[in-house]
Each structure stands twice: as structure tokens, then as C-alpha cells.
Amino acid sequence: MDCEFVQFEKDENVGILTINRPKALNALNIQLMDELDATLDNIAADAEIYALIITGVGKGFMAGADIATMKPMDYEQGKAYGIKGCALFQKIEDLDIPVIAAVNGFALGGGNELMLSCDVAIASEKAKFGQPEVGLGITPGFAGTQRLPRIVGPRVAKELIYSGRVFGAAEAEKIGLINKVVPPEELMETAKSMARSFAKMAPFAVKYAKKAINEGLQTDIDHAVKIENDYFGKCFSTNDQEEGMGAFLEKRKATFTNK
Ligand code: DAK
């Protein structure tokens, strides 16, 4: 698929997906959703990509779902739109590789929800966050009512969602919404450096750790520990487990092969 609003490049084993609809602050219209969906499928099928960075062009990371697209919708259309957006962001959460949001600017509504579906987030000092939907007469619709409380806790999430207020990167870091704030000019290098630090580890181990965390968070602790037991056991069927432990014992650097 030829993409107008999504750019994708590879830097060794790191994929960089850039949302490029700057005239609308990268607001998520149907075309952008479809382009993101197709690009994510390509990334999932590429065994050479060990980590992904998602960022945006211009002042916006993503200023939300496209308000003009949503304005005329009725109940059925609104519900269908929410289902489509949730499936798209679930695809990001379900990628086998770690995903870093490099938040360059406004991450509002659907943009904040996109960031929430990534594993970790680094933000520029210029970034702004918020779930302003209630001011538009709607609830967050791309799983913000679910992921935000799971990440920052229900009390903080409720205050943010009920007020719809927009807040800066320092507050986002303080409440645990993001991992780190950096000057704008350091954003991409910091994200790449983190991505490389993930990409040099054993890919199966990183993938199974991600699955154990994400699947375990959806269930009770007894079941969650069983999920971990299973992924931990699976690591012992990989060449990289033998290589990682062998390298340690032989006092040399491990060379992982993703096998
Ligand atoms: N949608 C469409 N266009 C947008 C947009 C958006 N979300 N955000 C910005 N734009 C467009 C503006 O209309 C403007 O276009 P032109 O007038 O130049 O044609 C251009 O981007 C530049 O924006 P501004 O001129 O407003 O730029 P400023 O720097 O002055 O202000 C801003 C930046 C981010 C503070 C402001 O643009 C703003 O407040 N934007 C709206 C932010 C927002 O409310 N985002 C949340 C959207 S709602 C659901 C499914 C999904 C959702 C909810 C429910 N269900 C199915 C239940 C998700 C909802 C959302 O994400």
C-alpha cells in the first residue's frame, strides 16, 4: 500500500514509523488508520525488526481522532469507529517487539491513546497530553478509559478524563504516564538509543517478557504467575538461551540469532 500519511524506515534492527499529516496535527482520519494498519502488518511480518519507534511530524504527535470525521456519526457509526480504532491500537500493543512512543508534540485524545498502546514513552519538553473528549461531548473511544487507569491508576485517570485538561511533559512523567522527558532536539536520539538497548537483547526473551507482562496484567496474580512460568519455560527451547548463558559462563559477549 502506498502511504500518504505514514512514513516508515529502518535503522539497522530498529523500525521508525512517522505519522505525517502535519496540517491537521496528525489527527487520525480513516485513511491514516488504514495506512497505520497496513504498515503495522508489514512490521509484524519483518523478522529483522527488533524494536519500533512511533513519532510524528511537526507540532503534533497526534492531536486525536479526526473531529470532522466524527461529527456526523450516529450510535452505530460511532461504535464501529471505536471498534476500528481499538483494534488498531491493540495491534500495536500485540506486536512481538517493544514499541517506544517518541512524543514530539500534542498527544491528545486518540493521540494519547496511541501513546498508551506503546510499551514505553519518551517525550519532548514541548509535548502536551490529555483526554479532552468530554469537552467534545464524547468519552475517550480508543481504549483510553481502560489503558489510562491501568497505567496511572484510576484516581489520576478519572481526574484527567473528567476534566479533559491538557498538561505538559513534566506532569506526564510525574504521574508515570511516560518514562522520560528530554529537550526536543534529543528526542529521536534518546528513543533510538533506548530502542537499540532493547534490540541487542535476546529477541525471544524480550518478546516473551512483553507477552507475560501484558497478558498477566489482564488476569489475577495466580493465573498471571502461571503465564510467566510458561513463557519462562519456552525460553529454554531457544538457541539464544543457550547462547546467552553460555556466553556468560565463557566470559564473552553473547551473539543472539533470534532462534
Ligand atoms: N481533528 C481534526 N483536525 C484537527 C484536530 C483533530 N483532532 N486537531 C487539530 N486539527 C486541525 C485544526 O482544525 C487545524 O486545521 P485548519 O484549521 O488549519 O484546517 C490544524 O489542525 C491546526 O490546528 P490549530 O490551528 O487548532 O492549532 P493550535 O496550535 O492553535 O492548537 C490544539 C493545537 C491541539 C490545541 C488544537 O488543534 C486542538 O485543541 N485540537 C483538538 C484536540 C482534541 O480535542 N483532540 C481530541 C480529539 S477527540 C470514539 C472514538 C474515538 C474517540 C472518541 C470516541 N468512539 C467511537 C466512541 C477519540 C476522540 C478524540 O481523539
Residue 259 and residue 253: Cα distance in Å, rounded? 17
- Cβ of 172 closer than 6 Å to ligand 1, yes or no, is no
CATH number at 139 reads: 3.90.226.10
Tell which one of 19, 20, 21, 25 to mutate to probe ligand 1, the residue whose CB is within 8 A of the most ligand atoms: 25
166 and 226 in a common domain: no
- My answer on whether 98 and 226 are in the same domain is no
Q: Are residues 56 and 92 in the same domain?
A: yes
User: Do the domain assignments include residue 258?
Assistant: no
In the residue annotation, 133 being an active-site residue is answered as yes
The C-alpha atoms of residue 138 and residue 67 are separated, in whole angstroms, by: 11
Query: Is the minimum distance from the CB of 132 to ligand 1 under 6 angstroms?
Result: yes
- Give the span between the Cα atoms of 193 and 14, in whole angstroms: 10
Please indicate, yes or no, if residue 149 is contained in any of the structural domains. yes
Q: Are residues 53 and 134 in the same domain?
A: yes
Q: Please report the pLDDT score of residue 36 as a whole number.
A: 98
Q: How many residues does the chain have?
A: 259
Instruction: With CA atoms as reference, report the closest residue to 66 among 130, 136, 165.
Output: 136
Work out the burial of residue 259: count CB atoms within 10 Å of its CB; fewer than 13 is exposed, 13-18 middle, 19 or more buried.
exposed
Are residues 120 and 215 located together in one domain of the fold? no
Residue 145 placed within a domain: yes
Number of domains in the chain: 2
Q: In what order do the strands lie in the sheet with 167-168?
A: 60-62, 106-108, 128-130, 167-168
Q: Indicate whether this model's pTM tops 0.85.
A: yes
Cβ(82) – ligand 1 distance below 6 Å? yes
256 inside domain: no
Residue 210 is part of which domain span? 203-249
Q: What is the pLDDT along the chain (259 residues), one digit of tens a residue?
A: 899 999 999 999 999 999 999 999 999 999 999 999 999 999 999 999 999 999 999 999 999 999 999 999 999 999 999 999 999 999 999 999 999 999 999 999 999 999 999 999 999 999 999 999 999 999 999 999 999 999 999 999 999 999 999 999 999 999 999 999 999 999 999 999 999 999 999 999 999 999 999 999 999 999 999 999 999 999 999 999 999 999 999 999 999 999 9
Predicted confidence at residue 160, as pLDDT, reads 98
**Which domain CATH number covers 235?**
1.10.12.10
